[in-house]
């Protein structure tokens, strides 16, 4: 099986290489790994203590970020090496100041893993959530380097728990300790005989709390809102935008306004939204908010969405009619009820908030309007708000627990 795994990795490499001729992201994936050995040797010190943290992409980085920042605070003498698998993580965070060196993870081959691990010789290796690269983990294990998987989530349909998953079932055993987000994940690991598991929670909660504490009100947005309540559509896609068009036809626009932050902010998509909502007073963020009252504030830039939720009454999060919902912890940090589409089952936070009535699933315009009316009823909104608040408060502190563990075992 190891031979087959190595063969698969080589096929993956050539497939991405061919695809890179047609796809810019695949091209970045290839180009970013050129001369990695030389760069690693040049940028990583030969002496001193090194912590290696690996994230697949941007979402995992948000879980790893509070760990990096707390490590630098607790162990300022440590050198932090941060690696990414995907360009969507590396290209956005390659200048992140809290890490001492940031690079791509090389292809998971025996020779690459041997060179990487023997060159870096980390004090600890910390993998975030979903990264199970056999050769790297096997090599770390060979060198007796403590290796941790943090903020992990396991589900019964993963290959580790299938009858045909024998080779992959050994991979969790290469970790020194696995810190999971919930008890169900711990139970699944115990069923295959892995016992070094701690229910830690989600370090992203610490991150969104930190963001919420740092956000400053935008006076222009406050002027746009006035005394109205606010529905914030975060990272919306066309299915959500269609529902919003149906909603705004029925809502009282003297009491409510809409802040619409689409996932795609290309000029073409921004113009499409303007055309869709042409019968309403709409203003865009970058062109300046109108002094006269508007029904819709269209966010036509990136990087400000997480702070917008502070002024929200209800959040409608996009992605639930596509592959999966986008970040719901950012609005949850401000204790506002959350609505999203049906594709949310991979996310523990969504499942928990649905169960506690802090979040709500919608399937179409009718169910959205029904939930909106319910949240407008006396007492319903406050109960939902409290459920979201409790989830965040009960979940905070995962990062501090991990740092305490590392201090205890260093």
> Which structure tokens are listed for 301?
């830039």
> What is the Cα–Cα distance from 206 to 212, expressed in whole angstroms?
10
pLDDT value at 289 more than 80: no
The reply to whether the predicted model has a pTM over 0.75 is: yes
Alpha carbon separation from 224 to 217, 220, 273, 284, 405 (Å, rounded):
12, 6, 19, 11, 47
Question: Which of these, 273, 275, 239, lies nearest to 259 by C-alpha position?
Answer: 273
Rg value, the chain, Cα: 23
Q: Mean pLDDT across the stretch 45-63?
A: 91
Q: Name the CATH superfamily housing domain 216-395.
A: Glycogen Phosphorylase B; (3.40.50.2000)
> What is the Cα–Cα distance from 388 to 328, expressed in whole angstroms?
10
Q: Within 10 A of 34 (CB to CB), how many other CB atoms are there?
A: 9
Q: Within 10 A of 209 (CB to CB), how many other CB atoms are there?
A: 19
Q: What pLDDT does residue 376 have?
A: 86
Q: What pLDDT does residue 230 have?
A: 96
Per residue in 136-153, pLDDT (tens digit) is: 999 999 999 999 999 999
pLDDT value at 231 more than 90: yes
pLDDT value at 291 more than 80: no
> Which structure tokens are listed for 18?
């061919």
Q: Where are the domains of the chain?
A: 2-210+397-409, 216-395
Q: What pLDDT does residue 293 have?
A: 76
Given a contact cutoff of 8 angstroms between Cβ atoms, the answer to whether 331 and 312 are in contact is yes
Given a contact cutoff of 8 angstroms between Cβ atoms, the answer to whether 142 and 118 are in contact is no
Alpha carbon separation from 245 to 240, 260, 296, 328 (Å, rounded):
9, 11, 11, 22
- Three-state SS across the chain? CHHHHHHHHHHHHHHHHHHCCCCHHHHHHHHCCCCHHHHHHHHCCCCCCEEEEEECCHHHHHHHHHHHHHHHHHCCCCEEEEEECCHHHHHHHCCCCCCCEEEECCCCCHHHHHHHHHHHCCCEEEEECCCCCHHHHHHHHHCCCCEEEEEECCCCCCHHHCCCCHHHHCHHHHCCEEEECCHHHHHHHHHCCCCCEEECCCHHHHHHHHHHHHCCCCHHHHHHHCCCEEEEEEEECHHHHHHHHHHHHHCCCCCEEEEEEECCCCHHHHHHHHHHCCCCCEEECCCCCCCCCCCEEECCCCCCHHHHHHHCCEEEECCCCCCCCCCCHHHHCCCCCEEECCCCCCCHHHHHHHHCCCEEECCCHHHHHHHHHHHCCCCHHHHHHHHHHHHHHHHCCHHHHHHHHHHHHC
> What is the Cα–Cα distance from 102 to 40, expressed in whole angstroms?
10
Per residue in 60-107, pLDDT (tens digit) is: 998 999 999 999 998 899 999 999 999 988 998 999 999 999 999 999
First to last CA, the chain: 35
CA dihedral 69→123→88→233, nearest 10 degrees, is -40
Q: What pLDDT does residue 290 have?
A: 64
Per residue in 187-221, pLDDT (tens digit) is: 999 999 999 999 999 999 999 999 899 888 888 89
Of the pLDDT bands very low, low, confident and very high (cuts 50, 70, 90), residue 248 is: very high
216 CB-side CA count, 13 A? 2
Q: What pLDDT does residue 407 have?
A: 84
pLDDT value at 242 more than 90: yes
Of the pLDDT bands very low, low, confident and very high (cuts 50, 70, 90), residue 9 is: very high
pLDDT value at 41 more than 70: yes
> Which structure tokens are listed for 186?
């711990």
With tokens 């007073």, the residue in question is: 281
> What is the separation of C-alpha 16 from the centre of its chain, rounded to a whole number of angstroms?
24
Domain 2-210+397-409 sits in CATH 3.40.50.11720: yes
- Longest CA–CA span in the chain (Å) reads 68
Of the pLDDT bands very low, low, confident and very high (cuts 50, 70, 90), residue 371 is: very high
Given a contact cutoff of 8 angstroms between Cβ atoms, the answer to whether 380 and 374 are in contact is yes
Q: How confident is the prediction for the chain on average, in pLDDT?
A: 92
């Amino acid at each position: 099986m190891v031979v087959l795994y190595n063969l698969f990795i080589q096929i993956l490499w050539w497939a991405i290489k061919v695809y890179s001729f047609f796809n810019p992201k695949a091209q970045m994936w290839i180009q970013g790994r050129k001369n990695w050995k030389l760069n690693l040797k040049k940028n990583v010190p030969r002496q001193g203590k090194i912590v290696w943290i690996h994230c697949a992409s941007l979402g995992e980085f948000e879980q790893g970020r509070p760990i990096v920042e707390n490590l630098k605070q607790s162990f300022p003498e440590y050198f932090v090496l941060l690696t990414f698998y995907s360009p969507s993580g590396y290209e956005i965070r390659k200048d992140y100041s809290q890490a001492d060196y940031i690079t791509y993870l090389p292809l998971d081959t025996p020779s690459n893993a041997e060179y990487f691990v023997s060159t870096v010789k980390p004090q600890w290796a910390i993998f975030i959530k979903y990264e199970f690269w056999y050769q790297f983990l096997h090599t770390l294990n060979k060198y007796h380097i403590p290796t941790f998987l943090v903020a992990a989530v396991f589900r019964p349909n993963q290959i580790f728990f299938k009858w045909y998953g024998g080779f992959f079932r050994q991979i969790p055993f290469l970790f020194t300790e696995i810190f999971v987000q919930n008890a169900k994940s711990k139970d699944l690991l115990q069923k295959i005989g892995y016992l070094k598991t701690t229910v830690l929670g989600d370090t992203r909660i610490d991150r969104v709390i930190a963001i919420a504490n740092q956000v400053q009100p935008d006076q222009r947005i406050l002027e746009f809102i006035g005394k109205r309540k606010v529905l914030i559509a975060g990272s919306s896609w066309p299915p959500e935008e269609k529902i919003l068009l149906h909603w705004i036809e029925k809502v009282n626009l003297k009491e409510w306004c809409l802040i619409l932050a689409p996932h795609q902010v290309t000029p073409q998509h921004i113009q499409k939204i303007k055309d869709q909502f042409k019968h309403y007073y709409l203003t865009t963020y970058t062109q300046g908010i109108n002094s006269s009252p508007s029904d819709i504030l269209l966010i036509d830039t990136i990087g400000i969405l997480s702070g917008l939720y502070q002024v929200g009454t209800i959040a409608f999060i996009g992605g639930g009619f596509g592959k999966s919902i986008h970040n719901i912890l950012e609005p949850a940090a401000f204790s506002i009820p959350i609505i999203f589409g049906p594709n949310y089952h991979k996310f523990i936070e969504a499942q928990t908030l649905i169960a506690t009535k802090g979040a709500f699933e919608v399937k179409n315009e009718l169910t959205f309007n029904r939930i909106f009316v319910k949240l407008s009823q006396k007492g319903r909104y406050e109960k939902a708000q409290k459920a979201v608040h409790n989830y965040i408060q009960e979940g905070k502190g995962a990062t501090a627990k991990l740092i305490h563990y590392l201090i205890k075992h260093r």
